[in-house]
Structure 1
Amino acid sequence: MKFRSVSDPVTATPPGVTPPKRFSMRVAEWLLDSPRLGENLNVKHFAGRLLKQPAREGVVAAQSRLGQLMCRECGNARDRRIGHDLLRQAARAGDRRALRELGLLED
């Protein structure tokens, strides 16, 4: 049986339409905020992996959440240092959660 191939213009995403980039961030926040799931170390690790790319792209909320996660949950100094750097970047952008975590903002 022979299959016809579909031409590129039909399957390609139009240049004006961009796929949602923050879906992984929403899933990660949902996992971390979930009472039962948020305590599991494997879930935290998975959420951190989901937050990694948006944080690299400069999404302030992702930088803040990943920074908190790395500072609180990681055992080695390198990861804690990276977490503090992410928190500082988010704090410079005005994220209240990052400012509170760094102790620069009082409730």
Structure 2
Amino acid sequence: MKRSLFMIVITTPTGTIGKQALDHVLKAGESVCVIVSDPTGLALEGHKRVEVIKGSTDDAEVVNKAFAGASAVFWVVPLDEGADNLERHYYKFNKIAADAIKAQNVQRITA
């Protein structure tokens, strides 16, 4: 899919918050890229302005691919109630995001 001039990346698009963000952006007619581990949970019928990147937000390669050329990112760290250390869990995900934001020169971030 050729990216438009304005592309929003949304993480956790099948979760409670990410799904609402995705619905809002699609209703506004914006182009969107989503990072999702299981695309079967997405309801995208009729939406042609969606790029789906299959993978995890704890994979720097996946995140950099999604952020390349992005105008904005809606970043949500996925919940892991079983994490031994929540601070380490959030740090790991946010470090990957911060590095990709810098590398890909993303100008707008909501987290």
* TM value normalised by structure 1: 0.34
Which is greater in Rg? 1
Return the structure number with greater helix share: 1
* Structure of greater relative contact order (alpha carbons < 8 Å, 6+ residues apart): 2
Return the structure number with greater strand share: 2
* TM value normalised by structure 2: 0.33
